Chain A
Amino acid sequence: MESRALGTGLNLLAFSPAILIYVYTFPYFYANINLVVLVLIAVLPIVKLLVPKRYSSNVYPVALIIAMLLVIATLFYLINPSRYYYLEIFSIPLALSTFFAIDFAFAFIFIFEGLLSKRSSRMIGYLFLSLGTMLYELSIIAAMHEFSLTFMNALSLVFSLEILSYYELFVYGYQKFLPMANFQIPINQELLVLFIISTIAIVFSIYLRENGHQRERLGDLAYSLFAGSIMGTLLFAAYDYFSYTQYQLSIIGFGVLATFIAISRTSRKEKNRKPKIK
């Protein structure tokens, strides 16, 4: 990487869809978020950045242990509040606002860590983790706009549709009630543009992180991009074509499984010849 600033800039571009979704959804959820929980969790990557380097790897494990202890304290309190009344102070409020706070806090951690990551693979991982975390919130907002529903009604609708979708998948083998398949998201156009920018930024990021061996690597990467784009588009076309049969998930499943088989078959470790001493 030529400079740290360039790397962070590319990460910022790659993370632009995630940041947009975060900024767009947060005001809608603000009233339904437990801000204390959000801040307590979201501050972790900043604490990790500020503590001396030798302790930074312990921040998340320590936070996880504290969280587990709090969960145990909450369970004890809920089982027998009269006996464990003193645990009330440590019990986590089991409310929707807490879960949304955890969701947003995790999305913040993924975005923050992703922006600072130096490796392309790590950055891609964090990007899709952050996007995946906020997809549910995005669908709630889409439902609010689509049917002019209140927040709680939209939440119930999306939740019910998702449960129905899972039920259908496991009982009948296909999905009919996909919440966002028919909803119009208000930031659809912006997201489309940002997804394209993100893809370009990811490619540049991989290319520039190759420490001076770019020329040779670019050829191989171009093949992968070309082949990947064609295969991805073809599979999406198949997914779109077969959507009326409601077997689109099976089509994608076969595609992904076939690719995994191809990867595992070509990834066999070949044995080296035993070297002889001259």
Chain B
Amino acid sequence: MRPAAFVFAVASLAQWLVPLVGVWQHERIIARGVAVRFECAAPDPYDPFRGRFLAVRPAETMVLAPEGIAQSADGANRIMVPVWATLVADEHGLSHIKSLSLEPVSGPTVIRLGARLSGETNGAKMVMISWPLDRFYLNERLAPDADRLVAERLGRGKPPVAEIRLLDGQAVLTDILLDGVSIRETVKQQAK
């Protein structure tokens, strides 16, 4: 085999492997992960490669800082650090952050997040949370209607609910729900 043909074969294999590894990881989380729901906001922006999406913003962004997070004296607090959050569900089935840890913890409802020291509230140190899910892709015909629907509901104090699957601290956003129904279905119903 010529060297060029060998390099081409390896490159072609890698071109399949990179996306397929992503497919395998996320299919595994969807199939075996625990379903978790929480309130969020979701305006409608655009990605040049992947089209329209709802920019998912979980409601919980400021929480009590975990023990041992860097203090401001050395400046390290300005950099986002990984934390592991344990989620618990309330009586409505919506999840909230129960605790944060700087060390990896195990459990079915643990999710890896980013955290940065943000200041103090009532004397307690708080961190700003960065969630590993920020977009829910929609068909470009549905996205404007979905955006309008979400805005109306947010105005009435009824935010949408994001449904995710969790496995080994990794998350996949599977749906956005309005009154327990997928936003895709709701928008399609309204369009009829």
Tell whether A and B belong to one assembly: no
* Residues in B lying within 8 Å of A, measured CB to CB: none
* Residues in A lying within 8 Å of B, measured CB to CB: none
